[in-house]
Amino acid sequence: MSGGVAAGKKVTVAAVQFACTDVEAENVAAAERLIREAHKKGANIVLIQELFEGHYFCQAQRLDFFQRAKPYKGNPTIIRLQKLAKELEVVIPVSFFEEANNAHYNSVAIIDADGTDLGLYRKSHIPDGPGYQEKFYFNPGDTGFKAFKTKYATVGVGICWDQWFPECARAMVLQGAEILFYPTAIGSEPQDNNLDSREHWKRVMQGHAGANLVPLVASNRIGRETVETEHGKSTITFYGNSFIAGPTGEIVKLANDKDEEVLVAEFDLEEIKSTRHGWGIFRDRRPDLYKVLLTLDGEKS
Ligand code: PUT
């Protein structure tokens, strides 16, 4: 490699984490307070955790929880955060439970720094299993993986379980995403007290950052939440550990598993782009050999 590395497109990203109550107004107020704090620390793009308006209701399969879903257009939380984005000139991906006629999605609206709503991404990979029974509520997202051009950077946003799939990260970066964001809700596993996925969770996403040579921001809630289910009570302790990784997968900022936190890191996207091009992974890809990725069972047709 020869020649200088370009520099000059500095962007500051933030991840916030907090414990949710089950009162929507309290959680939206907490999100606003932490976004303001992130802005004071210089953030241009602020990530809030997944489904932050309430407790993580997917611990239970309850019909009454469908009432928490709201249509995308006219959603009061999105409108409030659009006003905040405009006031502070920050970009805010807003995670919410979306009702679309008879369909329901785990969605995120990308709000640009002038308050414009740039569009929607609907979570593609929907988990199921003890404590995380999302298939009961959410249709698999139909938007496909996207990259959104914001004032400060082109961003890709995957939602929680999407973070375990390298295809999702790659698809977003292929479309021009310069930074990846993952709002999340993950913690203990009600069926197995000895299972703690936090290190695995971080390493997988660090891999996406390193494999695509882009910074990556993950926000996860903290707190112990007990939900009344159809079989009695279920409890998850969410492990926080929100983090910001740099373009070789290195963790540059990391929160703990108990405290409300605002993490901030600055990146030079021009410099990173230059390094990405120099390293050659997007030159040397072989999409002609990847058709097997379009199958479920590995059989080539
Ligand atoms: N948010 C989904 C996590 C699933 C962990 N088993």
Ligand 1 centre to CA of 54 (Å) is 17
Domain total of the chain: 1
Does the CB atom of residue 239 touch ligand 1 within 6 A?
A: no
Ligand 1 centre to CA of 139 (Å) is 16
Provide the pLDDT for residue 301: 58
Which whole-number Å values give the CA distances from 161 to 38, 168, 293, in the listed order? 25, 10, 18
In a domain, 203, yes or no: yes
| Mean pLDDT value across the chain | 97
Provide the pLDDT for residue 3: 60
Domain hosting 144: range is 10-294
SS3 17: strand
**Which pTM does this prediction carry?**
0.97
ipTM value greater than 0.85: yes
Provide the pLDDT for residue 29: 98
Position 140 pLDDT exceeds 50 = yes
Q: Which atom of ligand 1 is nearest to the CA of 184?
A: 1
Predicted confidence (pLDDT) per residue in 174-226, tens digit: 999 999 999 999 999 999 999 999 999 999 999 999 999 999 999 999 999 99
Predicted confidence (pLDDT) per residue in 10-48, tens digit: 999 999 999 999 999 999 999 999 999 999 999 999 999
Q: Which atom of ligand 1 is nearest to the CA of 134?
A: 2
In a domain, 5, yes or no: no
Ligand 1 centre to CA of 186 (Å) is 5
Position 1 pLDDT exceeds 60 = no
pLDDT band at residue 7 using 50, 70 and 90 as cut-offs: confident
The whole-angstrom separation of Cα 300 and Cα 34 is 49
Predicted confidence (pLDDT) per residue in 151-170, tens digit: 999 999 999 999 999 999 99
Asked if 152 and 11 count as a contact pair (C-beta separation under 8 A), the reply is: yes
Mean pLDDT along residues 224-248: 97
Which whole-number Å values give the CA distances from 110 to 92, 93, 96, 125, 186, in the listed order? 6, 4, 11, 19, 22
Out of 32, 50, 98, 99, pick the active-site residue: 50
Out of 160, 168, 225, 261, pick the active-site residue: 160
Starting at the edge strand found earlier in the chain, the sheet holding 10-17 runs 45-47, 10-17, 261-268
Provide the pLDDT for residue 167: 98
Residue of 48, 36, 35, 41 whose CA lies nearest to 265 = 41
The whole-angstrom separation of Cα 120 and Cα 240 is 25
Mean pLDDT along residues 110-127: 98
In a domain, 141, yes or no: yes
In a domain, 95, yes or no: yes
In a domain, 299, yes or no: no
- For residue 82, the domain's CATH number is 3.60.110.10
The structure tokens 């802005």 sit at 39
The whole-angstrom separation of Cα 130 and Cα 212 is 32
Greater confidence (120 vs 1) lies with 120
In a domain, 207, yes or no: yes
pLDDT band at residue 2 using 50, 70 and 90 as cut-offs: very low
Burial 222-231 (b: 16+ CB within 10 A, else e): bbebebebee
In a domain, 2, yes or no: no
Does the CB atom of residue 129 touch ligand 1 within 6 A?
A: yes
Mean pLDDT along residues 127-155: 98
